[in-house]
């Protein structure tokens, strides 16, 4: 049954080029794309046969090795937003793009040194499972699913819109069609293959992305005799802002607090991202989890270095190709505002410039697959929040069977998929950059403080964690809504109410303070029990004793 | 988990040593990471001119770009060192505790 359904869907996918004729479809890109989709479908079919239990579905049964998991985490990270987005940022403003890359990367030391192993030893599925270990189930799961679903929705919008634009540019398909294709593909991966398929798609994609990025950066450096400084000199020579691209720039010096705030949210947000946390539980042991972090951070760090080369290389080289720009009647163009498809497409155009249409096709296919894979991972985390946290533990209060939970997660995937498609269409013309920033800010302000204090501070109680978590969540959200990115750019008001867009510098300390205050003033009997349960949690999180299987819950 | 096992582990001298040493090591690593990262962010926010300087005569690469690249390396190196510590010193201690209790 499953088999026929998948092959039917495969057939309909192969039929796509029929309506791809509306724009400048790139044949090699389409061939590469279809090959990749076909390959991943085979994986999904294979994974579907192995996915039997909820544990298989959410965490691939704990059967992924550290190296594989490292690649999968890197895959989650090397999303279209970070590859296209950071290369695009470097292309526009040089040094400024590096700030984002370093912020994303520094989430890893924070995760590693503060919580990774302790979470892993607890042996739980996600954020809610960890905090509910000794704190009140219902409250923690409601907090966790609110924050997780909000983060996931924001991320989904950013990825869907990014992917939609990419497909419009490359395949000439209409925007709405491309959003639907992404949504449907995502649902197929997750629906049939669960975490096993999602992980394997991420692994393959990460390998291809690293290969493609290395090739692209290598070809760029080759043009400059493998001398990075020659490339930078050329970039400075042709960029409208000249030597300023080597410096932090006015965006930072006008609002130093904003840069600081962004930096904090990026570094602490990683630890609270639901789809990243989940990946620690797909491996069999703490040693493997550790190994996966080392691999993940190496791959991510390496890839960001490639992205810098690609971004600066795009400045130096794209200007020689007027065909990538919308030119005025006299053939002149502005390299920053006239790039076809927007500056996010800088890396894509560059691959065409140095590697021809074959490299373009390869990179385009992998980038597209990246988005589908990241969206699939997000949807899975969202389904876990709904089926595992809200349904199984709050609504059914633990009386549901595994089969019921599976059914609810599959329904959730369908709902999330349809929602992602709709949101992608609604937000087509919005600036999506702030959504990823907001997602990180919420993760850092709501999830991160609760997570850290619940495993490391005896005094933390349910009341403190719930109030503190929601204070962080609401403060960060309201701050962003009242900031320039939403209040002015989306709602069209004249002046922003908050001085700068990034809330982290206030919302994170505020959340910590609230948890502390509402915990120490909590004199209830439950609060005492929760403090007493801290010993059991500590022993288990330090040693893993008491955790019978890798992924049993 | 039974209460007596928890107490047994808590009183185990190797466990006490493990937790003490591991907490200290991870705090040192965390503080180092924080200093490097916030040093980078604070410098670019408040001393942007320092980062704008070229590396030297005849160079285009600025101090900031090179620092950024080094900061990326530092993150990976710190994680690798921490994992090395864990594997070499903490895992043997942990294994002993687990063996004694189970």
Which residues from chain A sit within 8 angstroms of residue B75, using beta carbons?
Answer: 102, 105-106, 108-109, 297, 301
The CATH superfamily label for domain A2-48+66-543 reads Sodium/glucose cotransporter (1.20.1730.10)
Residue A13: exposed, middle, or buried by beta-carbon count in 10 A (0-12, 13-18, 19+)? middle
pLDDT greater than 80 at residue A54 = no
Tell me what ipTM this predicted complex has: 0.88
How much is the pLDDT for A23?
37
How much is the pLDDT for A340?
80
Helix axes A137-171, A402-426, angle to 10 degrees: 50
CA atoms of A113 and A131, how far apart (whole Å): 19
How much is the pLDDT for A310?
94
In this prediction, residue B39 has a pLDDT band, given cuts at 50, 70 and 90, of very high
Q: Regarding predicted confidence, which is higher, A150 or A344? A: A150
With an 8 Å Cβ cutoff, is A493 touching chain B? no
- A283 bridge partner residues: A64
* pLDDT tens digits for range A202-216: 788 888 889 999 999
State percent of chain B over pLDDT 90.
37
A13: tokens are: 């996918």
In this prediction, residue A22 has a pLDDT band, given cuts at 50, 70 and 90, of very low
Average pLDDT over every residue of A158-168 = 78
- Say if CB B52 and CB A248 are below 8 A apart: yes
pLDDT greater than 50 at residue A13 = no
pLDDT greater than 60 at residue A551 = no
Domain boundaries, given as residue ranges, for chain A: 2-48+66-543
CB contact under 8 A, A545 and B72: no
With an 8 Å Cβ cutoff, is A122 touching chain B? no
- Say if CB B27 and CB A115 are below 8 A apart: no
* pLDDT tens digits for range A326-339: 888 887 888 888 88
Give the range among A60-69, A83-92, A412-421 with minimum mean pLDDT.
Answer: A60-69
Q: Which residue of A has its CA nearest to B32?
A: A109
Nearest 10 degrees: CA dihedral of B63, B64, B65, B66?
50
Q: Which residue of A has its CA nearest to B20?
A: A542
Q: How many CA atoms lie within 13 A of A391 on its CB side?
A: 20
Q: Which residue of A has its CA nearest to B28?
A: A113
Look-up: residue for tokens 């991966």? A189
Taking Cα atoms as reference points, which of A83, A113, A112, A75 lies closest to residue A100?
Answer: A83
CB contact under 8 A, B82 and A113: yes
How much is the pLDDT for B99?
84
Between the two ends of chain B, the Cα-to-Cα distance in Å is 12
Question: SS3 helix, strand, coil % of chain A, rounded to 5?
Answer: 80, 0, 20
CA atoms of A316 and A553, how far apart (whole Å): 53
Which residues from chain B sit within 8 angstroms of residue A543, using beta carbons?
Answer: 9, 15, 18, 94, 97-98
Q: Regarding predicted confidence, which is higher, A358 or A318? A: A318
CB contact under 8 A, A99 and B94: no
pLDDT greater than 80 at residue B30 = yes
pLDDT greater than 80 at residue A142 = yes
What is the separation of C-alpha B69 from the centre of its chain, rounded to a whole number of angstroms? 18
* pLDDT tens digits for range A121-138: 876 656 777 888 888 888
Average pLDDT over every residue of A228-240 = 92
Average pLDDT over every residue of A370-387 = 80
pLDDT greater than 90 at residue A72 = no
* Among the partner residues B51, B73, B76, nearest to A247 by beta-carbon distance: B51
CA distance A236 to chain B (A): 8
With an 8 Å Cβ cutoff, is A544 touching chain B? yes
Residues 6+ apart with CB under 8 A from A165: A175, A341, A342, A344, A345
Q: Which residue of B has its CA nearest to A257?
A: B45
CA distance B95 to chain A (A): 9
A43: tokens are: 């994986």
Give phi and psi for A125, each to the nearest 5: -70, -50
How much is the pLDDT for A537?
85
How much is the pLDDT for A8?
43
Angstrom distances, CA of residue B44 to CA of A232, A260, A307, A515, B66: 20, 9, 20, 32, 13
Average pLDDT over every residue of B48-61 = 89
Which residues from chain A sit within 8 angstroms of residue B19, using beta carbons?
Answer: 538, 542
Taking Cα atoms as reference points, which of A38, A57, A34 lies closest to residue A47?
Answer: A57
CA atoms of B16 and A447, how far apart (whole Å): 29
Look-up: residue for tokens 């490359």? A170
State percent of chain B over pLDDT 70.
96
A406: tokens are: 């599976």
CB contact under 8 A, B76 and A260: no
Q: Which residue of A has its CA nearest to B36?
A: A106
B43: tokens are: 């410098």
* pLDDT tens digits for range A237-274: 999 888 888 888 776 777 888 888 888 888 888 888 87
With an 8 Å Cβ cutoff, is A337 touching chain B? no
Q: Regarding predicted confidence, which is higher, A195 or A182? A: A182
Tell me which range, A25-34, A221-230, A318-327, is most confidently predicted by mean pLDDT: A221-230
Domain boundaries, given as residue ranges, for chain B: 30-101
- Say if CB A279 and CB A127 are below 8 A apart: no
pLDDT greater than 90 at residue A306 = yes
How much is the pLDDT for A18?
32
Diameter over CA atoms, chain A: 79
The mean pLDDT of chain A is 80
Angstrom distances, CA of residue A316 to CA of A277, A354, A357, B26: 38, 12, 20, 42
Give the long-range contacts of residues A479-484, CB within 8 A, separation 24 or more.
Answer: A479/A503, A479/A506, A479/A507, A480/A434, A480/A437, A480/A438, A480/A441
Q: Regarding predicted confidence, which is higher, A156 or A286? A: A156
A97: tokens are: 């793009």
Average pLDDT over every residue of A91-106 = 86
The CA radius of gyration of chain B, in Å to the nearest whole number, is 21
Determine which helix (DSSP H) or strand (DSSP E) holds A81, and give its type and residue range.
helix A80-93
Which residues from chain A sit within 8 angstroms of residue B86, using beta carbons?
Answer: 117, 290
How much is the pLDDT for A343?
80
In this prediction, residue A139 has a pLDDT band, given cuts at 50, 70 and 90, of confident
CA atoms of A47 and A52, how far apart (whole Å): 10
- A64 bridge partner residues: A283
pLDDT greater than 90 at residue A517 = yes
CA atoms of A447 and A213, how far apart (whole Å): 33
CB contact under 8 A, A101 and B72: yes
Residues 6+ apart with CB under 8 A from A212: A351, A359, A362, A363, A366
Which residues from chain B sit within 8 angstroms of residue A109, using beta carbons?
Answer: 29-30, 33, 37, 75, 78-79
- Say if CB A276 and CB A110 are below 8 A apart: no
In this prediction, residue A58 has a pLDDT band, given cuts at 50, 70 and 90, of low
In this prediction, residue A382 has a pLDDT band, given cuts at 50, 70 and 90, of confident
pLDDT greater than 50 at residue A196 = yes
Handedness of CA A403, A408, A414, A416 (dihedral sign): negative
Question: Among the residues of A94-193, which ranges form H helices?
Answer: 95-110, 117-122, 127-131, 137-171, 175-188
* Among the partner residues B65, B79, B98, nearest to A95 by beta-carbon distance: B65
| Count of C-beta atoms within a 10 Å radius of residue A134 | 23
* Among the partner residues B22, B38, B75, nearest to A109 by beta-carbon distance: B75
Give the range among A173-182, A217-226, A386-395, A496-505 with minimum mean pLDDT.
Answer: A386-395
In this prediction, residue B1 has a pLDDT band, given cuts at 50, 70 and 90, of low
With an 8 Å Cβ cutoff, is A533 touching chain B? no
CB contact under 8 A, A102 and B72: yes
* pLDDT tens digits for range A440-483: 888 999 999 998 998 889 999 999 999 999 999 999 989 988 88
| Count of C-beta atoms within a 10 Å radius of residue A488 | 16
How much is the pLDDT for A26?
65
B26: tokens are: 């991870």
Which residues from chain B sit within 8 angstroms of residue A236, using beta carbons?
Answer: 60
Coil, strand or helix at A545: coil
CA distance B4 to chain A (A): 10
Chain A / chain B CB contacts < 8 angstroms:
162
Give phi and psi for A330, each to the nearest 5: -85, 10
CA atoms of B4 and B10, how far apart (whole Å): 10
CB contact under 8 A, A536 and B6: yes
With an 8 Å Cβ cutoff, is A539 touching chain B? yes
pLDDT greater than 50 at residue A372 = yes
């Amino acid at each position: 049954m499953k088999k026929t359904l998948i092959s039917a869907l495969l057939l309909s996918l192969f039929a796509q080029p029929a309506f791809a004729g509306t724009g400048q479809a790139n044949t090699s890109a389409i061939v590469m794309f279809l090959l990749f989709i076909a390959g991943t479908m085979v994986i999904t079919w294979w994974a579907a046969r192995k996915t039997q239990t909820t544990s298989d579905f959410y965490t691939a049964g704990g059967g992924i090795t550290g190296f594989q998991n490292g690649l999968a985490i890197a895959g989650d990270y090397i999303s279209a937003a970070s590859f296209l987005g950071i290369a695009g940022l470097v292309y526009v403003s040089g040094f400024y793009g590096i700030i984002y890359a370093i912020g994303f990367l520094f989430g890893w030391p924070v995760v590693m040194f503060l919580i990774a192993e302790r979470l892993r030893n607890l042996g739980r599925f996600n954020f809610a499972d960890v905090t509910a270990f000794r704190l009140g189930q219902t409250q923690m799961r409601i907090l966790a699913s609110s924050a997780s679903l909000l983060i996931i929705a924001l991320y989904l919008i950013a990825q869907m819109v990014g992917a939609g634009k990419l497909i419009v540019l490359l395949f000439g398909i209409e925007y709405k069609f491309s959003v639907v294709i992404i949504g449907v593909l995502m649902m197929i991966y997750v629906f049939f293959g669960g975490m096993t398929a999602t992980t394997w798609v991420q692994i393959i994609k990460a390998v291809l992305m690293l290969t493609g990025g290395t090739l692209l950066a290598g070809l760029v450096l080759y043009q400059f005799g493998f001398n990075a400084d020659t490339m930078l000199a050329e970039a400075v020579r042709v960029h409208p802002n000249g030597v300023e691209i080597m410096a932090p720039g006015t965006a930072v010096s006008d609002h130093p607090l904003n840069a600081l705030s962004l930096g904090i949210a990026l570094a602490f947000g990683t630890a609270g991202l639901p789809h990243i946390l989940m990946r620690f539980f797909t491996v069999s042991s703490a040693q493997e989890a550790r190994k996966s972090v080392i691999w993940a951070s190496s791959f991510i760090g390496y890839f960001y270095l490639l992205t810098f080369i690609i971004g600066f290389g795009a400045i130096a080289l794209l200007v020689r190709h007027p065909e990538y720009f919308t030119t005025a009647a006299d053939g002149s163009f502005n390299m920053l505002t006239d790039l076809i498809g927007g500056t996010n497409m800088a890396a894509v155009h560059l691959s065409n410039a140095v590697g021809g249409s074959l490299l373009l096709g390869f990179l385009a296919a992998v980038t597209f697959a990246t988005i589908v894979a990241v969206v699939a991972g997000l949807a899975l985390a969202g389904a876990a929040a709904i089926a595992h946290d809200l349904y199984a533990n709050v609504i059914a209060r633990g009386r549901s069977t595994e089969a019921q939970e599976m059914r609810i997660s599959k329904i959730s995937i369908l709902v999330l998929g349809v929602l992602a498609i709709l949101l992608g269409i609604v937000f087509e013309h919005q600036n999506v950059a702030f959504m990823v920033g907001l997602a990180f800010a919420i993760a850092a302000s709501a999830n991160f403080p609760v997570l850290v204090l619940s495993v490391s501070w005896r005094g933390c109680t349910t009341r403190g964690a719930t109030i503190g978590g929601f204070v962080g969540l609401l403060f960060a959200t309201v701050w962003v809504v009242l900031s320039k990115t939403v209040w002015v750019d989306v709602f069209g008001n004249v002046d922003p109410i908050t001085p700068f867009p990034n809330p982290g510098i206030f919302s994170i300390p505020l959340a910590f303070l609230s948890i502390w205050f509402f915990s120490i003033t909590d004199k209830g009997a439950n609060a005492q029990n929760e403090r007493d349960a801290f010993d059991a949690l500590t022993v288990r999180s330090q040693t893993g004793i008491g955790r019978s299987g890798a992924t049993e819950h | 988990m039974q209460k007596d096992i928890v107490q047994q582990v808590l009183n185990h001298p190797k466990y006490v040593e493990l937790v003490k040493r591991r907490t200290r090591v991870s705090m040192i690593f965390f503080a180092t990471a924080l200093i490097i990262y916030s040093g980078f962010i604070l410098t670019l926010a408040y001393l942007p001119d320092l980062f704008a300087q070229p590396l030297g005569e005849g160079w285009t690469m600025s101090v900031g770009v090179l620092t950024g690249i080094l900061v990326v390396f530092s993150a990976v190196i710190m994680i690798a060192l921490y994992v090395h510590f864990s594997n070499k010193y903490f895992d043997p201690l942990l294994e002993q505790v687990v063996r004694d209790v189970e």
